[in-house]
Amino acid sequence: RDSINAEYMGIEFVLGCVSNTASYLRLWALSLAHAQLSEVFWKFAWVMPLSMDKGSGVFVFVGFALWMGATIGVLGIMESLSAFLHALRLHWVEFQNKFYYGDGVAFVPYDHSALIPKPHLYLSPFEAE
């Protein structure tokens, strides 16, 4: 029985290592995509209009507007996604594997109506007949 338990724990450990590695690789890939998109947005929406502008400032204004829109839009969404994925990874991969056993008390939703006293209907002795 102990050898079966040891084999089970060994398999669970290896699968946990693979899962954690894949989870961190996902975050790393999102970080690399963020860095590459930042560089592309910087070069094509800001550096290129600076070289095209002949002193009027129109290209600079349009390039800056495009760069800010792309940065706030795409990269802001990517950072939010990255933060969400990291928090989700911490909850589901780290917490569930190490500390959660699932042997707690069943959830009972809170009910306000249980706190409100029920009206009691009292019948007078004359009404009972």
For 32-62, how does the pLDDT look when each residue is reduced to its tens digit (9 = 90+)? 888 888 888 888 877 787 787 777 888 888 8
Asked if 110 contacts 72 with a C-beta cutoff of 8 angstroms, the reply is no
Distance CA 4, CA 99 (A): 23
pLDDT of residue 73: 83
Asked if 25 contacts 85 with a C-beta cutoff of 8 angstroms, the reply is no
Q: Write down the residue that tokens 């917490």 correspond to.
A: 95
pLDDT class of 121 with cuts at 50, 70, 90: low
Interior angle at CA 19, CA 18 and CA 23, nearest 5:
115
Distance CA 124, CA 10 (A): 75
Model pTM score:
0.50
pLDDT of residue 109: 85
**Does residue 93 register a pLDDT over 80?**
no
Asked if 20 contacts 95 with a C-beta cutoff of 8 angstroms, the reply is no
pLDDT of residue 123: 61
pLDDT of residue 127: 57
